[in-house]
Amino acid sequence: MIIAALSFLIIGSYKGIIRHTGTRDVFNVFIGVTIFSITIGFIVVVNQLFRINTNFTIPKSIILIHYLVSVFVLIISRYVFKAFYEVISTELNTVTNALIYGAGDSGIITYGALNRERKENYQILGFIDDDKNKVNKKIDRIKIYDFSKINKEFIEKNEINEVIISIQKIKPSRLLEITDKLLALNLKVKIVPPLSKWIEGDLQANQIKQINIEDLLDRAPIIIDNPIVQREVNDKVILVSGAAGSIGSEISRQLSLYTCKLIVLIDQAESPLYDLQQELIQNGVTNFVAIVSDVRDRHKMSRIFKKYKPQRVFHAAAYKHVPLMEKSPYEAIKVNVFGTKNLVDLSVENDIERFVMVSTDKAVNPTNVMGASKRIAELYISCVSKLSKKTKFTTTRFGNVLGSNGSVIPLFKRQIENGGPLTVTHKEITRYFMTIPEACSLVLEAGTMGKGGEIYIFDMGKSVKIFEIAKRMIYLSGLRYPEDIDIKITGLRPGEKLYEELLADGENTIKTYHEKIMIAKTQKLDDSIVKVKIDDLSLNFNKLNNSDLVKLMKELLPEYVSNNSEFEKLDKVSV
């Protein structure tokens, strides 16, 4: 008894919680019994050799039988107690009947994680898989079904509550197809996170989250730690304007992962800039400085350029809300045109290596003040780029980003929380979507390309109907449309398009080495005339009212035709 107690004390098997018995506990029991049996055998052999006590002996067969029985009984008893505990706890708590979509390695690991979970009791009644070779086979006595067999009758018969999608490499289009069918069956749909997000390579049940609209619109994973970008930004001083905004803050976060000499963060919004500053400090980033400043203030920006001597500029500062800018052309021009002009001119004066501007698809054939102001900024950069000998200028153009400030997804979430209705401006309105990290990663990479003067557009995938997004978000919230929450059509807002474009009339694309980045082959412009008109706008800016400002913008941009706006009358006059 003393030897047995010492053996298990040394191994520490007594520390294991029986209801959480696993392979490690089984191994500890095996080692403990083995140490005990070897010790007894050694004592018996020594006693026989040296005849210490002739009356003491244990047959070797008894030691072997004791060893085998002890291992068997101690291990089986643990699993019996574990199973008994699970039966009792399951009967006391509500059981969730679920299916796991995916009978591969990820699905099996998910099954194991759910079996270990005690807070929520899952009863896995089946696997679903698209592989016909797996259908009707079993995993741990649980049948694998074909997805076509999952219908209303099957769900009601088996009282299924939810489906957990556990496929590591699944196309967004297929995920959307699966989710739409499951939501139509009034099932909760959850998804297992990518392998990279598992805790120390092990999946925990609490990591399995309800699927959301971002998962359905998401795109292929991106590589943040990009060696091409690394080569261009390491040991460099980088200035980011609009650093506290959705795009600017993510550019700043991604830059912080490289070994930049210094990151200069500029924004006029004090509180969001403070939040970003604290986030970076908490993440251990020290090679940055946050400055409250405004790109409209040329004198202050000049002092910043002189003091920190940036080598690269990422210009993300802009006013972007279409309806607000339609009412405030003065502010749109002052920030989007002249703020850009200030940074472009200072970049040339200070021999900056590379200037990268974040533009928008709304600059293409603009129908609103905001888009027109960004297009004028693009034109100014194009003009200066041709005259610049040292500074390379790059413009990046892309559509909506998921979850950005003021975008449709956060708006719909708030409206659902408030009980609805969800507001959509037109039933047929469509938009391109891209995740913020992907957009910013492509901005950083595009900033390493070309000889200067190029406009880079990103592969945004297929455009998506906003009305369909609204419906899916209602279903994903466990509600029904229109019974629980309705969708209200409010009509197009001033300056709003039904469809966004990435290329203007007369533009086409040239491929780059990156499959998601293309060069917009733009029309030839008379740079001297364009630059003179922008300079003229700059000189007379403070003397003009909104109507006169927009009239000048339209003279600069013949393709600018207002839509659902008070400035439509200016188009009629020009005709």
Active site residues: 362
Residue 356, φ and ψ in degrees, nearest 5: -120, 120
192-200: long-range contacts, CB 8 A cutoff, minimum separation 24: 192/102, 192/106, 192/110, 192/164, 192/165, 192/166, 192/167, 192/168, 194/168, 194/221, 195/106, 195/168, 196/221
Strands 188-191, 209-210: pairing kind: antiparallel
Interatomic CA distance for residues 314 and 335, integer angstroms: 15
Residue 395: strand pairing partners: 357, 455
Residue 430: strand pairing partners: 465
Tallying the residues shown for the chain, one arrives at 575
Query: Which residues, at least 6 apart from 565, have a Cβ–Cβ distance to it below 8 Å?
Result: 326, 367, 368, 494, 495
Three-state secondary structure of 276-290: HHHHHHHCCCCCEEE
Which two tokens mark 101?
């979509």
Cβ atoms of 339 and 296 within 8 Å: the answer is: yes
Strands 142-145, 138-139: pairing kind: antiparallel
Sign of the CA dihedral running 463, 467, 468, 472? positive
Strand ranges (E), 55-109: 95-101
Interatomic CA distance for residues 403 and 532, integer angstroms: 39
- Measured in whole angstroms, how far is the alpha carbon of residue 306 from the centre of its chain? 36
At residue 122, the 3 state secondary structure works out as: strand
Rg of the chain taking only CA atoms, in angstroms: 33
Which residue's entry shows tokens 């004066």?
A: 349
* Nearest alpha carbon to residue 285 among 256, 249, 250: 256
What is the crossing angle of helices 466-476 and 172-184, to 10°?
60
Query: Which residues, at least 6 apart from 272, have a Cβ–Cβ distance to it below 8 Å?
Result: 244, 245, 249
What is the crossing angle of helices 546-556 and 527-540, to 10°?
170
Which two tokens mark 88?
């009792």
